[in-house]
Amino acid sequence: MNFRQEFIEFAVAREVFRFGEFTTKAGRRSPYFFNAGLFNDGAALGRLAEFYAKAIDASAIAVDGLFGPAYKGIPLVAAVAIALARAGRSLPFSFNRKEAKEHGEGGSIVGAPLSGRVLIVDDVITAGTSIRESVDLIRAAGASPCGVVIALDRMERGNGQLSATQEVERDYGIPVFAVANLDDLMSFLRQSPDFAQNAAAIARYRHEYGVARSG
């Protein structure tokens, strides 16, 4: 089993994936829901960060530093930096405040100065707002956003024909890669007799709203 399948198995066991009927922000009836907020204890966050580290290594992307958008990206970027360091790749990391601090050191960036090629670490991409803000902050500091890593790519169309991840790649000219995507989830479910019904429902949803794999 590769790390992507291991991640899916782990997320299902943590009930981060829920199966049933859920309404998305776009008003669609989705047969599954992914709630990264349920990686909510030290052991789970540490394991999640290890999967991120493996995805970053597998991407072979050149990175000089890590950035986590407030707020969900803050614990993620710190944990991923630790996981990478334990694997022998220590990188500086930083994150932003929602409101700039006017006393002390001031500014909106906390942690290492942004420089060189900066990888954005987030959980998922929906509207892409936090990514746009992150790109602007990184470029304003004189650094270069080099990519985005997320936990799950839903591979689902937005308002047009592209997915949210594909729109980010188009708009900013940077790659987006995920620990796992909808194809990985489908593969796991099809190999698990207990989830055969869920696999069929997600396949129908994918047929109606899905996009092809990026790249």
- Provide the annotated active-site residues: 101, 103
Long-range contacts of 16-20 (CB under 8 A, 24+ apart): 17/185, 19/195, 19/198, 19/201
Q: Please say whether the beta carbons of 119 and 147 come within 8 A.
A: yes
- Cis-peptide, bond into residue 205, ω within 30° of zero: no
Output phi, psi for 210, to 5 deg: -80, 165
Buried b (16+ CB within 10 A) or exposed e, 2-28: ebbebbbebbbebebbebeeeeeeeee
Pick from 114, 57, 46: which is nearest to 80 by CA?
46
* Distance (Å, whole) CA 118 – CA 120: 6
Alpha-helical regions (H) of the chain: 3-13, 42-59, 73-86, 129-140, 164-172, 182-190, 196-209
Query: What are residue 41's phi and psi, to 5 degrees?
Result: -135, 170
